[in-house]
A and B are shown apart, each in its own frame.
Chain A
Amino acid sequence: MAGKLKIKNREGGFLIGVIGDEDTVTGFLLPGVGQVDSKRNKNYFVVSSKTPITEIENAFRAMTTRDDLAVILITQHIAEEIRHLIKDYDKLIPTILEIPSKDHPYDKEKDTVMQKVLRMRGTQ
Chain B
Amino acid sequence: MAVFLVWPSEGEVVQSQKKTIMSGQGARINIFPTRMALTTMKSKLKGATRGHSLLKKKSDALTLRFRALLGKLADAKEEMGKEMKNASFSLATAKWAASPLDVSHTIIENVGPTAFEKLKINSDNVAGVELPVFEQLSDTGKQSEQLTGLGKGGEQIRKTRESYSKALKALISIASLQTSFVTLDQVIKITNRRVNAIECIVKPRLERTIAYIQSELDEIDREEFYRLKMIQSKKKIAADKREAELADLGIALPEKELVDTGISANIAAAFSEDAAEEQTEDSLIVF
Report if A and B associate in a common complex: yes
Task: Please determine whether B117 and A31 come into contact, CB atoms closer than 8 angstroms.
Answer: yes
Task: Please determine whether B108 and A29 come into contact, CB atoms closer than 8 angstroms.
Answer: yes
Interface flags for A33-76 (1: CB within 8 Å of B; 0: not) read: 11111100011101000000000000000000000001101000
- Choose among B70, B104, B120 the residue that contacts A120 (Cβ–Cβ < 8 A): B70
Given known contacts A99-B171, A106-B77, A30 and B114 CB-to-CB distance under 8 angstroms: no
Instruction: Say if the beta carbon of B27 comes within 8 Å of chain A.
Output: no
Q: What DSSP secondary structure best describes chain B's contact surface?
A: helix
Once the chains are docked, how many angstroms separate the CA of A71 from the CA of B132?
12
Interface residue count on the A side (C-beta < 8 Å): 54
- Choose among A26, A97, A101, A108 the residue that contacts B103 (Cβ–Cβ < 8 A): A26
Task: Please determine whether A5 and B117 come into contact, CB atoms closer than 8 angstroms.
Answer: no
Given known contacts A7-B121, A92-B132, A2 and B186 CB-to-CB distance under 8 angstroms: yes
Instruction: Say if the beta carbon of B73 comes within 8 Å of chain A.
Output: yes
Q: Which of B164-178 contact A (CB under 8 A)?
A: 164-165, 167-168, 171-172, 174-175, 178
B122 and chain A: residue at smallest CB distance: A7
Chain B contact-residue range equals: 35 or more
- Choose among B130, B147, B161, B174 the residue that contacts A97 (Cβ–Cβ < 8 A): B174
Which residues of chain A come closer than 8 Å to B6, judged between CB atoms? Answer: none
Which residues of chain B come closer than 8 Å to A121, judged between CB atoms? Answer: 70-71, 74
| Chain B proximity of A94: nearest CB distance (Å) | 9
Once the chains are docked, how many angstroms separate the CA of A117 from the CA of B184?
12
Once the chains are docked, how many angstroms separate the CA of A92 from the CA of B102?
37
Instruction: Say if the beta carbon of B227 comes within 8 Å of chain A.
Output: no
Which residues of chain B come closer than 8 Å to A29, judged between CB atoms? Answer: 107-108, 111
Task: Please determine whether A113 and B161 come into contact, CB atoms closer than 8 angstroms.
Answer: no
- Rank and list the top 6 A-B pairs by shortest CB-CB distance, nearest first: A32-B116, A13-B118, A2-B186, A34-B111, A35-B115, A30-B161
B: which residues have CB within 8 A of A?
Answer: 70-71, 73-74, 77-78, 80-81, 84-85, 87-88, 91-92, 103-104, 107-108, 111-123, 129-130, 132, 134, 137-139, 142-143, 146-147, 157, 160-161, 164-165, 167-168, 171-172, 174-175, 178-179, 181-183, 185-187, 189-190
